């Protein structure tokens, strides 16, 4: 660039180490056409200051008084203060002509530090790119528009058996095809021509010869690099020798076909056996679990009946025995209800009955669930906090089945907080306007669930309860019910911090889903 009027001249005031660092890192060949600003002068009373010494070596103007910069002949457009001190900045600010801009030390220091951080990041990134480039096993070539090879990487030279002198400066077709003319018009056209025509990346399989004139199969990808005016300045070729790989692939394909045939025959023979075994295993697991779970409460009921029968026969039913009889009857009722719950869970798990869908009043359903479980909650000393949003929309679903879900979650929460000193069950219901759903949260501060159990929590027959406490179908049934309602159920928990169940139910359902 020769027209000085198009260059923005910058002067530095303060010739210390900071000035030297700025000049060392930024001074370049200002004749380049992309340089629009340059440092042209440095000011410092100390002629031997490091920045002043470097400025003279670089051919920049140096002054001992900043007022020299105001001379129009120097064409200064910006003064940057590279030494601390507000008073010095104020002096320049008052004395400078209006056409000269001024940048304070603190502002420039902040900008310089930001630039330095970015420079270091780019330097680190360039180093990483350089290491990657040097470690690439693919062939990398730089080819000019006239088909001359300008540069290659070491992988190409090593694998194709060439030296740099045998490749660089020669036409690509002379090296690749051992020919004295281009590949245009041949059966398999050179991908360079296609990149020129389409101005896009081109990939193609080519046959080329190495230094021993042996034919190799090369996978070639051409990347055209464009100038600002749209012309192609060079081509970057990334290629690899896949000759051996093609042979291996053919052999692997043959072996795989044989293996597939063998495995297909084996699978056909074992498929029926696996299905039968799976059915029998599931049936056996279900039968054993159900028998065990139902047998325990039935055995308890039978013992209580025998005890009542013995007392009534030997001692008679008197005032002293009535309270004891009442306790026995309460236990029998509890065990009978337990059997009923197990059977209900099994029936729900089978999904045989049709479901009637209607708008469900969630706050009312929560209250109903709490009333049913009030004795259980009271026995365990659990305080219930309700945060039910007013005017909550009614999702379409089965009130009976959703109550079964709520009952299971509340029951599990009560058991989880049996040993919690200040047990609190928080039930929250809100309308998520963004996705048109009603969200119900059940949060307890009980013992929590170990992380390894969370992913299995909704699986059939999985339970962490003690023997005789559950068959492991409650949450599986709940999952199925919520899924059938078009919703989602999830759980978050940490041992010792409690558990939160989150249920999302859509406010509306498609007509074909109902019923």
DSSP for 40-83, written as a single string: EEEE-S-TTSHHHHHHHHTT-EEESSGGGGG-GGG-EEEEEE-S
Q: Are the CB atoms for 126 and 133 separated by under 8 Å?
A: no
pLDDT at 505: 92
Residue 510: pLDDT over 70: no
Q: Are the CB atoms for 203 and 191 separated by under 8 Å?
A: yes
Average pLDDT over residues 278-298: 57
CA distance 348 to 403: 13
Beta strand ranges found along 352-417 (DSSP E)? 358-359, 383-388, 396-397
Same-domain pairing of 295 and 444: no
Last residue of a domain, which of 308, 325, 347?
A: 347
Average pLDDT over residues 183-201: 77
Same-domain pairing of 39 and 98: yes
pLDDT at 374: 79
- Give the total number of structural domains in the chain: 4
The most confident of the ranges 157-171, 344-358, 464-478 is: 157-171
* Residue 474: CATH number of its domain: 3.30.565.10
Same-domain pairing of 444 and 468: yes
pLDDT at 316: 65
Each residue of 358-382: pLDDT tens digit? 899 999 999 988 887 777 788 888 9
Same-domain pairing of 374 and 506: yes
Residue 515: pLDDT over 60: no
Same-domain pairing of 380 and 463: yes
Each residue of 74-116: pLDDT tens digit? 889 999 999 888 877 888 888 899 889 999 999 999 999 998 8
Above pLDDT 90, what percent of the chain? Answer: 23
Same-domain pairing of 224 and 116: no
Burial 143-154 (b: 16+ CB within 10 A, else e): beeebebeebbe
Last residue of a domain, which of 132, 153, 176?
A: 132
φ, ψ for residue 176, nearest 5 deg: -75, -40
Same-domain pairing of 300 and 318: yes
254 in a domain, yes or no?
no
pTM score? 0.38
277 in a domain, yes or no?
yes
Same-domain pairing of 124 and 176: no
Q: Lowest mean pLDDT: which of 42-56, 181-195, 441-455?
A: 181-195
Average pLDDT over residues 464-475: 59
Last residue of a domain, which of 70, 102, 132?
A: 132
Question: Domain range for residue 220?
Answer: 139-241
CA distance 232 to 224: 6
Same-domain pairing of 381 and 287: no
Three-state SS annotation for 470-482: CCCCHHHHHHHHH
229 in a domain, yes or no?
yes
Q: Can you read off the two tokens belonging to residue 47?
A: 């002629």
């Amino acid at each position: 660039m020769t027209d000085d009027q198009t260059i923005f001249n910058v002067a530095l005031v303060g010739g210390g180490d900071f000035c030297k660092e700025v000049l060392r890192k930024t001074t370049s060949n200002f004749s380049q056409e992309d340089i629009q600003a340059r440092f042209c002068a440095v000011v410092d009373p100390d002629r031997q200051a490091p920045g002043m010494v470097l400025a003279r070596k670089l051919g920049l103007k140096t002054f001992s008084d900043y007022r020299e910069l105001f001379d129009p002949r120097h064409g200064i457009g910006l003064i940057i203060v590279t030494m601390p001190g507000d008073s010095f900045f104020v002096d320049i600010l008052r004395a400078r002509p209006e056409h000269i801009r001024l940048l304070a030390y603190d502002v420039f220091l902040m900008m310089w530090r930001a630039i330095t951080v970015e420079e270091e990041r780019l330097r680190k990134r360039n180093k990483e790119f350089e290491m990657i480039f040097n470690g690439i096993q693919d062939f990398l070539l730089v080819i000019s528009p006239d088909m001359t090879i300008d540069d290659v990487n070491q992988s190409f030279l090593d694998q194709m058996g060439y030296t740099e002198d045998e490749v660089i400066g020669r036409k690509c077709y002379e090296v690749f095809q051992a020919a004295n003319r281009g590949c245009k018009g041949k059966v398999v056209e050179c991908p360079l021509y296609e990149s020129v025509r389409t101005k896009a990346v081109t990939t193609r399989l080519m046959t080329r010869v190495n230094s021993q004139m042996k034919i190799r199969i090369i996978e070639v990808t051409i990347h055209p690099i464009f100038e600002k005016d749209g012309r192609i300045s060079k081509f970057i070729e990334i290629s690899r020798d896949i000759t051996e790989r093609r042979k291996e692939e053919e052999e692997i394909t043959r072996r795989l076909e044989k293996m597939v045939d063998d495995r297909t025959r084996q699978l056909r023979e074992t498929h029926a056996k696996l299905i039968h075994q799976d059915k029998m295993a599931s049936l056996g697991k279900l039968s054993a679990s159900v028998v065990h779970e139902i047998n325990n409460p039935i055995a308890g009921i039978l013992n209580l009946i025998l005890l009542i029968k013995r007392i009534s026969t030997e001692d008679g039913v008197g005032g002293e025995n009535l309270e004891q009889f009442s306790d026995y009857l309460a236990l029998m009722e509890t065990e009978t209800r337990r059997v009923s719950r197990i059977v209900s869970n099994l029936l729900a798990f089978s999904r045989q009955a049709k479901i009637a869908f209607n708008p469900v009043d969630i706050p009312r359903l929560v209250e109903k669930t709490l009333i049913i479980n009030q004795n259980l909650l009271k026995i365990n000393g659990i305080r219930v906090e309700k945060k039910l949003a007013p005017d909550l929309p009614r999702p379409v679903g089965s009130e009976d089945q959703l109550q079964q879900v709520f009952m299971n979650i509340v029951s599990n929460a009560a058991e989880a907080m049996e040993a919690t000193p200040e047990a609190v069950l928080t039930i929250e219901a809100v309308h998520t306007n963004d996705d048109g759903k009603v969200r119900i949260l059940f949060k307890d501060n009980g013992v929590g669930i170990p992380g390894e159990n969370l992913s299995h929590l909704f699986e059939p027959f999985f339970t962490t309860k003690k023997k005789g406490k559950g068959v492991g179908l409650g949450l599986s049934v709940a999952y199925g019910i919520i899924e059938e309602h078009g919703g989602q159920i999830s759980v978050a928990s940490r041992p010792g911090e409690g558990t939160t169940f989150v249920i999302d139910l859509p406010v509306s359902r498609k007509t074909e889903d109902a019923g």
